[in-house]
Amino acid sequence: MKRRNFLKKASVSGLGLVAVSSTLVSCDDKKVVRPVKTAELEVVKPLVIATWKTDLAVETAAAVLEKGGTALDAVEQGCRIEEANEKGQSVGKGGLPDRDGNVTLDACIMDDKGNYGAVLGVKNIKHVISVAKKVMEETPHVMLVGDGAESFAVSKGFKRENLLTEAAKKAWEKWKIKSEYKPIINIENHDTIGMLAIDKKGNISGACTTSGLAYKLPGRVGDSPIIGGGLFVDNEVGGASATGLGEEVLKTVGSFLIVELMRQGKSPQKACEEAIGRIVNKPGKDFKNFQVGYIAVNKKGETGAYSIHEWFSYNVYKNKENKNIKSDFYNKPKA
Ligand code: ASP
């Protein structure tokens, strides 16, 4: 279909149209490629996608969007649900501690204007996603770390509290017996939440929050709070987020890579698959004992997800339905 006809069709087909700038199109008449200032695309919105089985978090974010709230507020509110859920062992209160028994949290957030805020290695503050948002909105900086981040949070009215639950303490004490001081990365049960949302205006934001690897070395920071690693959003293209072994995500700048692949025309699904490929296809890479999972959404509201191993799932809210979906994965028995 010629592009002009496609655009015409899209603009009469109803549901959610949004203006996208700087799309490169080929102009049939003049045989040149030129940027089109405003093209209209059919968009599925509002929409939320998040890592793992995060029904309540996604429902909470969706409720913000259905009331006309921004994607930014939606991802913040959604992530706060998991931060407060003490049963989740890799995010917020209840998260497993570092090898010295300290729970330290990492989080970041990006809005539709390309703004970013993050906090790294924060103790005693549960809702680090909201602290990251304050860094983005109320400071001239993008990242605060450790004690500085904690003091900043307290200065903004956040309460200090003990994040190490009895259950997490018991698990840590058990681990210490045979620990060999190796951090643990499992491949089945993460609950780090990465969340992306498109609001009714078609704008995209994202957020990511975690307690990181269980029993990590004190001071270790993974991908989750790092722009382009655990999260990246470009409102003209889409967004991506990661979970799993942060070191591997960082070495391939996974979320940025996915957004750039989508910019070049790949679907969110294909972009996630290629990003996993960049990890597993490194020469000699032994990926048997770690997991990485990606989620992505593009400007049209098409979604994708892919992981190294089975057991990764994600939630999608669209057309007023919230579903947990099993992700496709790389490590299948060869036929
Ligand atoms: N990506 C997180 C990290 O490496 C961990 C996770 O997803 O569970 O800190």
User: What pLDDT sits at residue 303?
Assistant: 98
User: What pLDDT sits at residue 40?
Assistant: 56
User: What pLDDT sits at residue 334?
Assistant: 79
From residue 173, how far is each of 6, 18, 100, 182, 292 by CA, in Å?
Answer: 61, 53, 10, 14, 27
Choose between 280 and 89: higher pLDDT: 280
User: What pLDDT sits at residue 188?
Assistant: 61
User: What pLDDT sits at residue 30?
Assistant: 45
The total number of residues written for the chain in this structure: 335
Q: Which pTM value belongs to this model?
A: 0.88
Ligand 1 centroid–CA 245 distance in Å is: 5
Confidence of residue 317 (pLDDT cuts 50, 70, 90): very high
Whether the predicted pLDDT of 256 surpasses 60: yes
Confidence of residue 7 (pLDDT cuts 50, 70, 90): very low
Both structure tokens of 209: 């929050």
Q: Examine the residue annotation and report whether 192 is marked as an active-site residue of this protein.
A: yes
User: What pLDDT sits at residue 41?
Assistant: 64
Ligand 1 centroid–CA 108 distance in Å is: 13
User: What pLDDT sits at residue 87?
Assistant: 87
Confidence of residue 209 (pLDDT cuts 50, 70, 90): very high
Q: Is the dihedral of CA 109, 59, 263, 261 positive or negative?
A: positive
Whether the predicted pLDDT of 15 surpasses 80: no
Choose between 321 and 6: higher pLDDT: 321
**Ligand 1 pocket: which of 119, 186, 223, 249 to mutate (most atoms <8 Å of CB)?**
223
Residues with CB under 6 A from ligand 1: 90, 190, 192, 210, 212-213, 222-224, 243-246
**Ligand 1 pocket: which of 187, 224, 248, 249 to mutate (most atoms <8 Å of CB)?**
224
List pLDDT tens digits, range 87-110: 888 899 999 999 999 999 999 999
The mean pLDDT value for 74-79 works out to: 98
Q: Which of 60, 104, 192, 210 is catalytic?
A: 192
Residue ranges of domains in the chain: 3-41, 47-329
Ligand 1 centroid–CA 292 distance in Å is: 9
Per-chain mean pLDDT for the chain: 88
**Ligand 1 pocket: which of 119, 213, 231 to mutate (most atoms <8 Å of CB)?**
213
Task: State which ligand 1 atom lies nearest to the alpha carbon of 51.
Answer: 7
User: What pLDDT sits at residue 88?
Assistant: 85
Ligand 1 centroid–CA 185 distance in Å is: 8
**Nearest CA among 213, 177, 247 for reference residue 90:** 213
Ligand 1 centroid–CA 179 distance in Å is: 19
List pLDDT tens digits, range 119-151: 999 999 999 999 999 999 999 999 999 999 999
What CATH fold (topology level) applies to the domain 47-329? Glutamine Phosphoribosylpyrophosphate, subunit 1, domain 1 (3.60.20)
List pLDDT tens digits, range 19-46: 444 444 444 444 444 444 445 567 889 9
Q: Is the dihedral of CA 55, 270, 129, 134 positive or negative?
A: negative
**Nearest CA among 194, 277, 279 for reference residue 242:** 194
User: What pLDDT sits at residue 178?
Assistant: 82
Q: What percent of the chain has pLDDT over 70?
A: 84
| Nearest-CA residue for atom 4 of ligand 1 | 246
List pLDDT tens digits, range 159-187: 999 999 999 999 999 988 887 666 556 66
Give backbone dihedrals phi and psi of 14, rounded to 5 degrees, phi first: 90, -110
